[in-house]
Amino acid sequence: MLSVIEPIVVCVGVLVALLALAAGLVWLERRLLGLWQDRYGPNRVGPFGLLQVLADMIKMLTKEDWIPPFADKPIFVIAPAVIVFTVLMSFAVIPFTPHIQVVDLNIGLLFVLAMSSLGVYSVALGGWASNNKYALLGGLRAAAQMLSYEVFMGLSLMGVVMLAGSFSLRAIVEAQQGLWFCVPQFPGLVIFFVAGLAEARRIPFDLPEAETELVAGYHTEYSGMKFGMFFVGEYLGIVLVSALTTVLFFGGWLGPVLPPLVWFFLKTFFFICLFILIRGTFPRLRYDQLLAFGWKVMLPLALLNLVVTGGIVLAKS
């Protein structure tokens, strides 16, 4: 009986924790941006502005859930759900501790990359189904950006796979007992994190929803809970990239003294804060700069890292 209940408890616990964390990140981002930019963050609704998230949720849920008459209604409705579904599915293979993981797939890393590829459909279909020129341009930008940077993201992780000898995320963490992969795979770490920024469509890579150019890009016509799902999907994407960086390059739950879950949370929290700091620091790139940087800089570096790592592994074998 316990063997049946335990996976259900883990699934429900992970789901509730992730959705609560996504909501909390809205408050955290505003507070940290206020701190770093020497201005006030949320500080009126509740102590330290903690109830600002609740106020935002009430506002979002009570707004009219309007569907434009010129939109492709079935696809318009489905598109926001796709991004939330794909990101939550990716968390199914993340090992939070040696004992907290929904499922340990021997191809866990490939599963995450596959789910991130399916996430492209959400923004591309949302932009197309809106039947709005700004939304369509945002959707096209998102498709080109995300598909391009997935190439570099996948290549940057092959060095980690070669060192660990497995695609299982649990095995990758256990292979870092003596030395975290951020040391021998530092180029791969940098490439992966930059590609993760582009995948999450965060500044300086937020070209698909550039307000100064495209109103709001692919979600221009969305309102109410549908807009909220895009919003939640973006913040879950930040948590996912931060958690993957922790698992693949910084030893996951490994660390002295503190419990494994605390180590995993602290490392992931550091990268979430780094995402927010980058947003408050860097300007948005032009679209041609974005793609040129990917294909002319990221791709050669990823291939070079792959060749050098392969040569070292071969020499040691």
- Rounded Cα gap, residues 150 and 29, in angstroms: 26
The yes-or-no verdict on residue 245 having pLDDT over 90 is yes
Q: What is the value of pTM for the model shown?
A: 0.89
The beta-carbon contacts of 292-295 under 8 Å, at least 24 apart in sequence, are 294/148, 294/149, 294/152, 294/198, 295/148
Residue 63 carries which side chain, given as an amino acid letter? K
Give the rounded percent of residues in the chain with a pLDDT score beyond 70.
96
Domain edges within the chain: 67-316
Residues contacting residue 6 through CB under 8 Å, at least 6 positions apart: none
Is the predicted pLDDT of residue 2 greater than 60, yes or no? no
What does the DSSP assignment read for 163-193?
HHT-S-HHHHHHTTSSS-TTTTTHHHHHHHH
Give pLDDT tens digits for 256-304: 888 888 999 999 999 998 888 888 788 777 777 888 888 888 888 989 9
Count Cα atoms within 13 angstroms, Cβ side, for 221. Answer: 27
pLDDT of residue 3: 61
Model confidence at 1: pLDDT above 60:
no
